[in-house]
Amino acid sequence: MALDLDKSICMYSNQVLIVDDDHEMVALVKKLLKDNGFLVTSANSLSQALTILNQKVPDIILLDVMLPDGNGIDACLQIQKTYNIPIIMLTAVDNDVKKILSYELGACQYITKPFNSDVLVAQIKSALRQFSLVTEENRNKRYVHFNAWILDLYDRYLINIDGVSTELSNTEYDLLRMLIDSNRKIVSRNDVTQALFRREYDGSDRAVDIIVGRLRKKIEKDTASPQLIKTVHGYGYIMLADIYYSDQKLLDEKH
């Protein structure tokens, strides 16, 4: 029987902490999230948010970039040094998106204001699902499901939804594993160059770009507009996909 991941996320009444000084927006988001089965608390400053965190750690944080007593991007880094929880940054400024992507913010994602209510709820569910699934126990499972693909970690090949397998070279497999393990985090060109070729990135080495191009040809529908492996110009690459680890090749297989 297929696992309904969205229902499994909501059935435990996940606690959401909203950190934003826009009282009207907070009230609207609180109602939206409560109507969708979440428990919600809020703070209108970083200092208030840290006080709440010291008392009870939520399952996820919605954190505004601009707050009266500090920078939300810096706060994201500070919070994640202490607490192992996903964070979604709220921003109304395009330049802040570039700043967010320029840091390796771990579980931090972002959504721009004004945002669609359905999109916000979907992104919160996705962040919670992604965060809960990536555990050491899951990493020991045989198959990684992402988008319309399955990666067989034992035999090191890809399987599409029709069951057709695609071989991967050693460097393609290693790159794909690196991107999966760092899902929704930026992987720098230097890190990839060191991992795949055991050398430093010198600023002009195109070897990584070539491997990324080959991998995109195998997993992207349109390599001219990739949806899974994105290039963050000046920094490296980021993989954007919901990931599920399993011992079953098909998620609806019966035990």
- What is the per-residue pLDDT across 53-87, written as a single tens digit (0 to 9) for each? 888 889 899 999 889 998 888 888 778 777 778 88
For 162-209, write each residue's pLDDT tens digit. 889 999 999 999 999 989 887 777 788 888 888 888 788 887 888 999
> Does domain 5-133 sit in CATH 3.40.50.720?
no
Yes or no: say if 218 and 176 are a contact pair by the CB < 8 Å rule: no
For residues 110-126, average pLDDT: 84
Q: Tell whether the model's pLDDT for residue 4 goes beyond 70.
A: no
Q: Tell whether the model's pLDDT for residue 227 goes beyond 70.
A: yes
Positions of CATH 1.10.10.10 in the chain: 137-246
pLDDT of 254: 39
The DSSP H or E segment spanning 179 is helix 170-181
How crowded is residue 100: how many other Cβ atoms within 10 Å of its Cβ? Answer: 19
List Cα–Cα distances, 32 to 37, 146, 190, in angstroms.
Answer: 9, 29, 42
Which amino acid is present at 47? S
Q: Tell whether the model's pLDDT for residue 106 goes beyond 90.
A: no
Positions of CATH 3.40.50.2300 in the chain: 5-133
Higher-pLDDT residue of 81 and 21 is 21
101, two tokens? 């992507």
Q: In this structure, which CATH number among 2.60.40.3500, 1.10.10.10, 3.40.640.10, 3.65.10.10 belongs to the domain 137-246?
A: 1.10.10.10
Which amino acid is present at 123? Q
For 119-142, write each residue's pLDDT tens digit. 888 888 877 876 765 555 566 788
Strands in the chain per DSSP E: 15-19, 39-43, 60-64, 66-67, 70-71, 87-91, 108-112, 143-146, 149-152, 157-160, 165-167, 186-188, 229-232, 236-239, 243-246
For 25-35, write each residue's pLDDT tens digit. 999 999 999 99
pLDDT of 96: 62
Q: pTM higher than 0.75 for the full model?
A: no
pLDDT of 194: 85
Q: How many residues does the chain have?
A: 255
Residue partners of 48: CB distance under 8 A and separation at least 6: 19
